[in-house]
Structure 1
Amino acid sequence: MDLTELSERLEKISVGYGEHLGFDRDPDWFLLKLQEEVGELTQAYLQHTGRARAKGATPDGIRETFHQEFADVLCQLLLFARRHDVDLPREIERKWLVYEA
């Protein structure tokens, strides 16, 4: 999946989300929403590893939530990068892939 195309699709969804709930997706919102999603991933991880209460969820439900939270974090990160005109494929190439053997 192409990151640029994906971020464009996510942007449309995110705009609709903001309009539906009636808030402005200002620059701070992108970072704060990312932080919220990382917090939810952390909570799901703690449940998944047995270090937090299950709150009535089954092991399969906990695993599913844990996996879905990765998608939330990644999508919000892509939206945050898009908002700040970060070319993620280029930056990944420069920062990580330069070390490929």
Structure 2
Amino acid sequence: MTLKALLHAVRAVSNIYAKRFNITRDELWYLAKLQEELGELTAAHLKASRRGRSGTSTAQELHTQKEDEAADLLAHLLLYADQNDLDLEEAIRRKWMQYLPA
């Protein structure tokens, strides 16, 4: 799946969420959600690495929590980029791929 196809699906889910909970999304909301999701990924990582309270969760459950939070962060990064007219595919090609051998 390309980033554009993933964005299309994520945008549809985000629209459902915003409508269901009557959320007004603006530039600050998209940025704040990135910070929120990074915090949740950090918390999941700390639990999985036994640096935070993991309760009775198994190692697999903690790994799944990290995956879920990383997915949330990626989804919100795509939404932020879309809101701000950022072409992440092109930016990755420009900034990262230049270091690959020709």
Give the TM-score category using the shorter length: over 0.9
Q: What is the aligned partner in structure 1 of residue 80 from structure 2?
A: 80
Instruction: Give the unaligned 5+ runs of structure 2.
Output: none
What percentage of aligned pairs have identical amino acids? Answer: 39
Instruction: Report the AA paired with residue 82 of structure 2.
Output: R
Number of residue pairs matched?
101
TM-score of the pair, normalised by structure 2? 0.93
Alignment correspondent of 1:58? 58
TM-score with structure 1 setting the length: 0.94
Q: CA deviation at 1:58?
A: 2.4
Please give the per-residue CA displacement for 1:24-56, whole angstroms capped at 9, x wherever unaligned: 011111010111000000000001111001133
Farther off after superposition, 59-68 or 76-85: 59-68
Offset of residue 59 of structure 1: 2.2
Looking at structure 2, the residues matched to 30 and 55 of structure 1 have their Cα atoms a distance apart, in angstroms, of 31
Match of 1:70 in 2: 70
- Write the letter of the residue equivalent to 2:75: C
> How much is the aligned-residue C-alpha RMSD, in angstroms?
1.0
For residue 14 of structure 2, what is the aligned residue in structure 1?
A: 14
Q: In structure 1, what is the equivalent of residue 49 of structure 2?
A: 49
